[in-house]
């Protein structure tokens, strides 16, 4: 960026930077700063009885406000725990006759956004605010770009957050600094994943890693991203799912495996879809989808409590209860209830006719499973606000799922709907290698018709099944959607640190 392109504030900050250097102040010093305490810990622990423990404290953070009282400055910094006030007095910081460094550094050199370190003792001001009586101050990093200005109360709480999505998603690093609620969202995201890990680890599950670059994009119906492996001179695909690799591990003798997987699907973007997203999948030997429904209820009830301290979650105007048990409804019953059509015995032509009556667009690439999926997605899904298992899907929709034990033409599958969106998908896994080959071949026919989301035939996975896979149940959770629901976030972009966006053009 040239000087001519800098704003007035950016030019002023660069001039300050030069003056600091000329005065012998390194604006980006290499030495470590020995932080000893953090803001919330000090505020929660400091009393008259404990003040001796705070006789020499080292704090550091980003400047969020400066109150210039002439020979005294009140500077508020933001650290990892919140906002903390520094009391900085000229004659105590520079007790000698030379006050030039006070003018260069403190009075004229500091800006909002700068990182500083301060050493001193903790006390309580006349206004009752726990503060640091600063005895030495160090500039740790000069900020050359002004942060957006927001309004804060006396406690440092923001009450007019910056909401422009273009700014928030492109400059998340700045968004995190000025909007505390954004930070809270991502802290809760980590709490959710830690809660799930704890649940699974306590059950004896093993966390594993599987390939992101795959020769066959298997395990889901989705359009993949394609890349090229130069050393092997063959095309590879970014992972759309890790299902088939986790099942290989069950074949290999691991009875319960799980993975938090970054998946990639070259499809549309909206408030609940991002091309790169996080999924938790786990597979358990000797279990079925009935067991998996009960386990899902237990896992999500625990996660809600660990994240928010309650099984209730506020999503928009709705209160969602993650308290077990959840309702169970078959997909055919759901369609009949919300459309008036019984599609359970219909063939492809009959389903297309129903779609026409319901105003649902169809094309020649769509087989029976895709048509049923469209009807449910367009006309039924949004009705299921409270957690509900939609169960017993038609076989055409589920090429990796075991046939239903008692209902012809169906498979043992469920999807968990919450707030009108799918957050989990689970099966009693198909472990018959001959039938699995036939299902893959049906998918290949759909691909020939132009269905870009049809599954590829994975011959190595078929070979693995031929060695024998025990009865297994598996599930995939959309972690991003769960975070949205537990943090009342309206868009998936709000729960991703760096969501995909069209690249910026820089001069």
State the Cα–Cα distance between residues 184 and 448, nearest whole angstrom.
47
Phi-psi region of 273 (alpha: psi -120 to 50; beta: other; left: phi over 0): beta
For 353, the token pair is 């006719």
Which residues are part of a known binding site for Mg(2+)? 415, 422
State the Cα–Cα distance between residues 501 and 507, nearest whole angstrom.
18
CA dihedral 293→297→299→301, nearest 10 degrees, is 170
State the Cα–Cα distance between residues 46 and 59, nearest whole angstrom.
14
- Bridge partners, residue 115, by sequence: 62, 141
Could you tell me the CA-to-CA distances from 8 to 63, 68, 171, 265 in Å, in that order? Answer: 20, 22, 21, 43
CA dihedral 371→372→377→382, nearest 10 degrees, is 150
The helix/strand/coil state of 327 is strand
For 325, the token pair is 């048990």
Contact 472, 436 (CB under 8 A): no
> Closest Cα partner for 28 from 135, 138, 107?
138
Three-class DSSP labels, 141-198: ECCCCCCCCCCECCCCCECCCCCCHHHHHHCHHHHHHHCHHHHHHHHHHHHHHHHHHH
The helix/strand/coil state of 332 is helix
State the Cα–Cα distance between residues 220 and 475, nearest whole angstrom.
12
DSSP 461-484: HHHHHHT---SEEEEEEEHHHHHH
Which residues are part of a known binding site? 415, 422
Strands (DSSP E) contained in 79-146 are 83-89, 115-124, 130-141
Q: How many CB atoms lie within 10 A of CB 481?
A: 23
State the Cα–Cα distance between residues 151 and 157, nearest whole angstrom.
8
Phi-psi region of 309 (alpha: psi -120 to 50; beta: other; left: phi over 0): left
395 class by beta-carbon count within 10 Å (0-12 exposed, 13-18 middle, 19+ buried) = buried
- 199: number of CA atoms within 13 Å, CB side? 21
State the Cα–Cα distance between residues 29 and 256, nearest whole angstrom.
50
Radius of gyration from C-alpha coordinates of the chain? 29
């Amino acid at each position: 960026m040239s000087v001519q392109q800098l704003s007035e504030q950016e030019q002023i900050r660069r001039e300050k930077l030069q003056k600091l250097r000329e005065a012998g102040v390194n604006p980006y010093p290499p030495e470590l700063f020995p932080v000893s305490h953090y803001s919330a810990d000090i505020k929660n622990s400091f009393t008259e009885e404990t003040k001796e423990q705070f006789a020499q404290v080292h704090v550091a953070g980003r400047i969020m406000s400066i109150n210039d009282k002439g020979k005294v400055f009140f500077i508020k910094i933001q650290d990892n725990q919140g906002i903390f006030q520094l009391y900085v007095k000229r004659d105590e910081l520079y007790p000698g006759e030379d006050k030039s460094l006070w003018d260069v550094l403190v009075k004229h050199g500091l800006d909002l956004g700068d990182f500083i370190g301060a050493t001193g003792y903790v006390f309580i001001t006349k206004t009752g605010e726990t503060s640091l009586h600063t005895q030495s101050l160090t500039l740790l990093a000069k900020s050359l770009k002004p942060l957006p200005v927001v309004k804060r109360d006396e406690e440092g709480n923001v009450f007019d957050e910056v909401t422009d999505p273009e700014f928030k998603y492109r400059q998340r690093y700045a968004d995190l600094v000025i909007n505390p609620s954004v930070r809270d969202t991502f802290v809760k995201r980590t709490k959710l994943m830690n809660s799930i890990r704890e649940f699974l680890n306590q059950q004896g599950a093993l966390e594993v890693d599987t390939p992101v670059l795959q020769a066959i994009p298997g395990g889901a119906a989705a359009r993949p991203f394609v890349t090229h492996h130069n050393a092997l001179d063959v095309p590879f695909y970014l992972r759309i799912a890790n299902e088939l690799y986790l099942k290989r591990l069950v074949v290999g003798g691991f009875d319960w495996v799980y993975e938090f997987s970054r998946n990639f699907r070259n499809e549309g973007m909206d408030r609940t879809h991002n091309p790169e997203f996080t999924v938790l999948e786990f597979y358990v030997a000797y279990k079925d989808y009935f067991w998996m429904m009960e386990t899902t209820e237990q896992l999500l009830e625990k996660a809600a409590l660990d994240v928010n301290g309650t099984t209730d979650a506020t999503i928009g105007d709705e209160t969602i209860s993650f308290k077990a048990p959840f309702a169970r409804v078959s997909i055919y019953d759901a369609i009949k209830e919300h459309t008036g059509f019984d599609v359970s015995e219909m063939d492809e032509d009959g389903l297309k006719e129903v779609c026409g009556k319901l105003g649902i667009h169809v094309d020649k690439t769509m087989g029976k499973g895709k048509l049923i999926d469209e009807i449910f997605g367009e006309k039924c899904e949004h009705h299921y606000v409270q957690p509900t298992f939609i169960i017993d899907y038609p076989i055409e929709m589920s090429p990796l799922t075991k046939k239903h034990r008692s209902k012809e033409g169906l498979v043992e599958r469920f999807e968990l709907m919450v707030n009108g969106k799918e957050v989990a998908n689970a099966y009693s896994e198909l472990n018959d290698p001959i039938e699995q080959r036939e299902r893959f071949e049906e998918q290949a026919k759909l691909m020939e018709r132009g269905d870009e989301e049809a599954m590829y035939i994975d011959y190595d996975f078929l070979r693995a099944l031929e060695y024998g896979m025990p009865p297994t149940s598996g599930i995939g959770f959309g972690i991003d959607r769960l975070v949205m629901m537990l943090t009342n976030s309206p868009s998936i972009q709000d729960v991703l640190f760096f969501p995909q966006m069209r690249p910026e053009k820089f001069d």
